[in-house]
Structure 1
Amino acid sequence: MQLTLDKKVLELKHTFSISRESHDFQNTLIVGLEINGKVGFGESTSNPYYKITIESMMAEIEAIRSEIETFDFDRPEIFHQFLKDCQLSNFAICALDLAAWDLYGKIHDKPLYEVWGTSKDYYPITNYTIGIAPIEKMVAKMKEMPWPIYKIKLGTDDDVAIVKELRKHSDAIFRIDANCAWSAEETIQNAPLLKDLGVEFLEQPLKADDWEGMEKVVHQSVLPVIADESCIVEEDVEKCGLHFNGINIKLTKCGGLTPALRMIEKAKQMGLKVMVGCMTESTVGISAIAQLLPQLDYVDMDGPLLIKNDIAEGVKILQNGELKFPELAGSGITMK
């Protein structure tokens, strides 16, 4: 199995701001795995919150390059366990795991949703993210990209007022992501006001480790609450079930499609809503997420809509939120 590593810099269409950071570019690592002319591609982005850089991921992977290239590849799940045993970070494992699944699908000439026994006849529509900015810029972004569902990043002193102003300009569904910026009391107080403004749910309103606060919120909020920063890996799902109404799975954080499939199954067993989110990936990472869509209640996979210089072809997001799936198997990825 031949391994390739490639650092890419994605340029964002607009400065992207959340409650804790802002950026204009997103560094990303593209991994290729090739067997007999079939190439699978995977992706993981850098992330300062989790102290992950492209260089750190490349160093981890290079340290076991020979083991990867001599690995007797059969099933992605077995390859994933090998990577876990090598103690790579989840971000590095994700890029390799996505490449392994894309390769597996291409070898067997099936898209992954078929490999997993699902159909793309139904899938949730991705939201489009509006980052924190002066209100006139947030409105301008909405007008630039008319969309049926918006995820609105909050975490300011005027959050409800922001949503009131945005509501004047759109009848779309709103989802709110406070990225850990609120208190329990603030969340409970904001919820009925936001519900009246057409908000569907609240994502990660409290700090990731504020379980006591979230226990209050999940019982007193009139809006559902979805875990993000509180739900990183498989072991987090069970605890989140007592403190949230649903979970948002990030492939980069949990370590790829292999654990995500298990997290989806566990969450459904517990009666939780299931969402998969992105980390401003290119079409490489987004096409992998798209393979999970028939299993999801919600999805946030707008990465390619937020960047100027997409680096791949694959699943294409159309203007109305519908998708065009490629005829190529696996995740359907080809690099530009």
Structure 2
Amino acid sequence: MEIVLKKYVLELKNTFGISRQSRDYQESLIVCLSLNGKTGYGEAAANSYYHITVDEMIEECGSLKNDLENYNFSTPSDLHNWLSSKNLSNFLRCAIDLAAYDLYGKLQQKPLYKIWNTSIDNYPITNYTIGIAPIEEMIDKMLSFPWPLYKIKLGTSNDLEIVETLRKYTKSTFRVDANCAWDAEETIYNSKNLKKLGVEFIEQPLEASNWTGNKKVFKESALPIIADESCITENDVEKCYGHFDGINIKLTKCGGLTPALRMIKRAQKLKLKTMVGCMTESTVGISAIAQLLPQLDYVDMDGAMLLKNDIAKGVQITDNGKVIFPSLGGSGISLL
């Protein structure tokens, strides 16, 4: 099995702001795994919050390259188990795992959702994210991209005013994501007002480690609360029970599709809502997320929609949120 690593700097259509930072570019690592004339592609985006860079992932993979190329590939889950013994970051494991699944499906000539015996007759549509910016810019971004479902990034001194103002311009459903910027009392207060403004749920309002505050919010919030930064790996799913109404699984954070599939099942057993989110990936990462759609309650897979120029073909998202799955097997990815 041959492995090739590619570094990309993805330019965003607009400056993307959240409570912690703003950026115009997204660095991303693409892993290419080839076997028997087929190539699978996986992705992991760099992330400053988790102290992950593309260069570090490339260096991390260096010592593994020979062993990986000599690995007798059978299934992605077996490969992931092998990778788990190598003390790799979850981000690098994710990129390799996604490439392995894309390769496996292409070798089987089946999309992953069929391999997993799921149907794409019904699935949630993705939200489109409006990052923090001056309110006039947020209005312009929303109006320039008509969409039935928006995620509004919050964490400012005038969060309610932002949502109230945006509501004047659309009847679309809102979700809000405070990225750990609120405290418990602020969240409970905001939830009552946000519910009146047509907000569906609040994502990660409190600091990830504030479990006492999260429990209070869970009990008293007028809106469902979805964990993001509080749910990183498989072991966090049970922790979220009784503190959140659902979890947002990020493939890069948990280590790929292999652990994500287990996290979905664990969450469903606990009656937690399941969501998968993106990290401003290209169509490589988004196409992998799309394979999970039949198993999810919510999805945030607008990453490639936020880019000025994509680097791959795969899953397409139409103007009404419908997903067009490619005819290739696996995640259906080809690089441009």
Using the size of structure 1 for normalisation, the TM-score is: 1.00
3-state DSSP class of the match of 1:258?
helix
3-state DSSP class of the match of 2:186?
helix
3-state DSSP class of the match of 1:77?
helix
Instruction: Name the residue aligned to 1:54.
Output: 54
Matched residue pairs, number? 336
3-state DSSP class of the match of 2:243?
coil
Instruction: Name the residue aligned to 1:223.
Output: 223
Instruction: Name the residue aligned to 1:88.
Output: 88
Instruction: Name the residue aligned to 1:109.
Output: 109
Instruction: Name the residue aligned to 1:315.
Output: 315
Instruction: Name the residue aligned to 2:11.
Output: 11
Shift of 1:175: 0.1
Shift of 1:320: 1.1
User: For 2:325 and 2:109, how far apart are their aligned partners in 1?
Assistant: 14
Q: Deviations over 1:79-135 (max 9, x none)?
A: 001111001000000000000000010011100000001011111000000000000
Q: In structure 1, what residue type is equivalent to 2:167?
A: R
User: For 1:123 and 1:204, how far apart are their aligned partners in 2?
Assistant: 23
Instruction: Name the residue aligned to 1:120.
Output: 120
Q: Deviations over 1:162-214 (max 9, x none)?
A: 10000000100000000000000000001010000000000000000000000
3-state DSSP class of the match of 1:58?
helix
Shift of 1:280: 0.2
Q: Does 1:34 align with 2:34?
A: yes
3-state DSSP class of the match of 2:96?
helix
Instruction: Name the residue aligned to 1:139.
Output: 139
Matches within 5 A, 1:194-209: 194-209=194-209
Shift of 1:332: 0.2
Q: In structure 2, what residue type is equivalent to 1:164?
A: E
User: For 1:242 and 1:257, how far apart are their aligned partners in 2?
Assistant: 25
User: For 1:77 and 1:294, how far apart are their aligned partners in 2?
Assistant: 20
Shift of 1:319: 1.0
Q: In structure 1, what residue type is equivalent to 2:57?
A: M
Instruction: Name the residue aligned to 1:296.
Output: 296
Shift of 1:323: 1.1
Instruction: Name the residue aligned to 1:246.
Output: 246
3-state DSSP class of the match of 1:78?
helix
User: For 1:264 and 1:169, how far apart are their aligned partners in 2?
Assistant: 35
Greater mean alpha carbon deviation, residues 164-173 or residues 316-325: 316-325
Instruction: Name the residue aligned to 2:325.
Output: 325
Q: In structure 1, what residue type is equivalent to 2:29?
A: L
User: For 2:266 and 2:40, how far apart are their aligned partners in 1?
Assistant: 27
Instruction: Name the residue aligned to 1:155.
Output: 155
Shift of 1:242: 1.8
Q: In structure 2, what residue type is equivalent to 1:89?
A: S
User: For 1:121 and 1:320, how far apart are their aligned partners in 2?
Assistant: 16
Instruction: Name the residue aligned to 2:259.
Output: 259
Shift of 1:304: 1.1
User: For 1:242 and 1:193, how far apart are their aligned partners in 2?
Assistant: 23
Give every structure 1 segment of 4 or more consecutive aligned residues whose post-TM-superposition deviation is greater than 3 Å.
none
3-state DSSP class of the match of 1:285?
helix
Shift of 1:139: 0.3
Instruction: Name the residue aligned to 1:185.
Output: 185
Q: In structure 2, what residue type is equivalent to 1:170?
A: T
Q: In structure 2, what residue type is equivalent to 1:169?
A: Y
**Cα RMSD for the two superposed structures:** 0.4
Instruction: Name the residue aligned to 1:69.
Output: 69
Q: In structure 2, what residue type is equivalent to 1:69?
A: E
Q: Deviations over 1:249-304 (max 9, x none)?
A: 00000000000000000000000000000000000000000000000000000011
3-state DSSP class of the match of 1:14?
strand
Instruction: Name the residue aligned to 1:174.
Output: 174
Q: In structure 2, what residue type is equivalent to 1:174?
A: F
User: For 1:284 and 1:310, how far apart are their aligned partners in 2?
Assistant: 9
Q: In structure 1, what residue type is equivalent to 2:220?
A: Q
User: For 1:317 and 1:85, how far apart are their aligned partners in 2?
Assistant: 37
Using the size of structure 2 for normalisation, the TM-score is: 1.00
Shift of 1:309: 1.1
- Identify unmatched segments of 5+ residues in structure 1: none
Q: In structure 2, what residue type is equivalent to 1:98?
A: L
3-state DSSP class of the match of 2:24?
strand
User: For 2:39 and 2:220, how far apart are their aligned partners in 1?
Assistant: 50
User: For 2:242 and 2:220, how far apart are their aligned partners in 1?
Assistant: 13
Q: In structure 1, what residue type is equivalent to 2:256?
A: G
Greater mean alpha carbon deviation, residues 246-255 or residues 54-63: 54-63
Shift of 1:62: 1.2
Shift of 1:23: 0.4
Shift of 1:241: 1.1
